[in-house]
Amino acid sequence: MNKKTTPERAFVLGVHSPKNSQFEAWESLEEAKNLVMTAGAELCGQEFIELRQFSPSTFFGQGKVEELQVKLKAEQIEVVIVDHELSPVQNRNLEDFWKVRVIDRTGLILDIFAQRAQSKEGKLQVELAQYQYILPRLVGAWTHLSKQKGGIGLRGPGETQLEVDRRRVRERITGIKKSLKKVTSSRELHRNTRQSVPIPTISLIGYTNAGKSTLFNQLVGASELAEDKLFATLDPKTRKLRLPSGQKVLMSDTVGFIRNLPHQLVESFKSTFEEVAGSDLLIHVIDASHPDREQQVQTVEKILWELGLNDKPVIKVMNKIDKLELDLFQNNALVGESRSVVKISGLQGYGLDQLLNRVEQKLSECYYRRMHLLIPHAKGKVLNELYTHASILSAKNTAMGSEVEVNLPPRWQGLYEEFEVA
């Protein structure tokens, strides 16, 4: 009979330093608490700490470390989450002092990613990020690594266990990178195939838990995982979508962003971000009901800038407006953007027609070129291609052929220039 596993007892430490405002620190702490519950732990306590400067050895001052030791022991805490990035030395010293596991914000996010990854590529990406995170934190306690790969001559004379473990991790990182390269080459092949066909691609982006997957399911009629949890889905999904005019597009659902996204994940999830980079249009999904939505918008825009994707055409979408009072939404801080922001409820299906119309409008501005063509009657095949792949605005038969007004994607504009008329 299987024993029921009880969740770990977790304690979260929020940190307000000169590097962030008190409001940002509180919001980050609330987010960290949600991350802890998403990771499957039991939240048994929290504390918000004001720090003027960081201790190089223990992050917190000695007095605070001793004070917390008493509290953690009394609450029988098993794991402490520090809502900040810790150096390997700070992490190790706090564990030695408190006699519990200590995880910083990066380690917590990596743990959730490890639970959520489903595809082979996603699992490899997360494993790579974890080993890159673990490597500088090895302190000789990872003897199990050497047992996973035996062989004569693997341990040199005089080589310490710590050196062996570090070498094992480096070998594992190299192996994962090779495996990941093979897996991602398949994705690149599919992406190149899609790009050879003149169908615009659209990616849903946004802060984690903004409702991207729910919106994706509504638009394309899919049944992908969509939970009210952080990082409910990691692996990008792509489906065909037909716009109101009949024009076909490809819609992709991508991994959610989060403040202080670990650089290991940015590096490991390059192929996922390349999905965004190859898109012709981005739909930035914003959780209108979140009290810190403006900060979340800034986080997403900052990550796009860091990835060199800030020049992509973007449609901003206010999602989850069913959770708001109408008067509250009309008077919010984003009222100045009300004309450019599309207001929807992905769960209720409200505003989706308006969103699709905005997508068509945006594509006609930034993707298509309007051309006036005269297709001779003998070129019926050409006309059929236009109806299949292009957006036909108007068409009429004349004595010389079919006269059509059409929006053409970049890859096809050159093919039809011979039929263009003034």
| Boundaries of domain holding 169 | 117-182
Q: What are phi and psi of 20, to 5 degrees?
A: -140, 160
Higher per-residue pLDDT: 91 or 415 = 91
Confidence of residue 268 (pLDDT cuts 50, 70, 90): low
* Predicted local distance difference test score (pLDDT) of residue 192: 64
**Residue 247 shares a structural domain with residue 310:** yes
Asked whether residue 373 falls in the same domain as residue 359, the answer is no
More confident residue, 235 or 214: 214
Q: In this structure, is residue 389 part of a structural domain?
A: yes
Give 422's Cβ-side CA count (13 Å radius).
0
* Judgement on whether residues 300 and 344 belong to the same structural domain of the protein: yes
Could you say which of 65, 89, 112 is where a domain stops? 112
Could you tell me if 64 and 125 lie in one domain? no
CATH number at residue 405: 3.30.70
Is 3 inside any structural domain? no
Assigned domain for 264 exists = yes
Residues 250 and 335 in one domain: yes
| 317, 388: one domain | no
pLDDT for position 307: 80
Q: Is 188 inside a domain boundary?
A: no
**Rounded distance between C-alpha atoms, residue 191 and residue 204, angstroms:** 16
Which among 135, 154, 182 is the end of a domain? 182
Residue type, 14: G
Same domain, residue pair 231 and 322: yes
* End-of-domain residue from the set 76, 95, 112: 112
Q: What's 38's domain CATH number?
A: 3.40.50.11060
In this predicted model, which residue has the larger pLDDT, 313 or 247? Answer: 313
Total count of domains within the chain: 4
- In a shared domain, residues 372 and 357: no
- Residue 257 pLDDT exceeds 90: no
Percent of the chain past pLDDT 70, that is, above it, reads 80
% of the chain beyond a pLDDT of 90 = 28
Q: Residue 267's pLDDT is what?
A: 66
Q: Which of 30, 29, 84, 91 is nearest to 58 (CA)?
A: 91
Average pLDDT along the chain = 81
User: Is residue 219 domain-shared with residue 251, that is, in the same domain?
Assistant: yes
Tell me: do 233 and 334 sit in the same domain: yes
* 229 vs 55 pLDDT, higher one: 55
Mean pLDDT of the region 337-348: 81
Is the distance from CB of 287 to CB of 320 less than 8 angstroms?
Answer: yes
Q: Using 50, 70 and 90 to split pLDDT, how confident is the model at 74?
A: very high
More confident position, 272 or 80? 80
Angle at 206 between CA 278 and CA 37, to 5 degrees: 130
Integer Cα distance of 61 and 53 in angstroms: 9
Q: Is residue 192 part of a domain?
A: no
Residue 392, both tokens: 């036909």
Which residue, 187, 148, 183, is CA-closest to 164? 148
In a domain? residue 190? no
Pairing of strands 342-343, 314-319: parallel
* Cβ atoms of 414 and 406 closer than 8 Å: no
Residues 158 and 307 in one domain: no
Q: Is residue 312 part of a domain?
A: yes
Residue 227 has a pLDDT of 56
Model confidence over 160-204: pLDDT tens digits? 667 777 888 888 889 988 888 887 677 667 666 655 566 788 999
Confidence (pTM):
0.74
Say if residue 262's pLDDT is above 80.
no
Residues 6+ apart with CB under 8 A from 215: 204, 285, 317, 319, 344, 346
Same domain for 220 and 316? Answer: yes
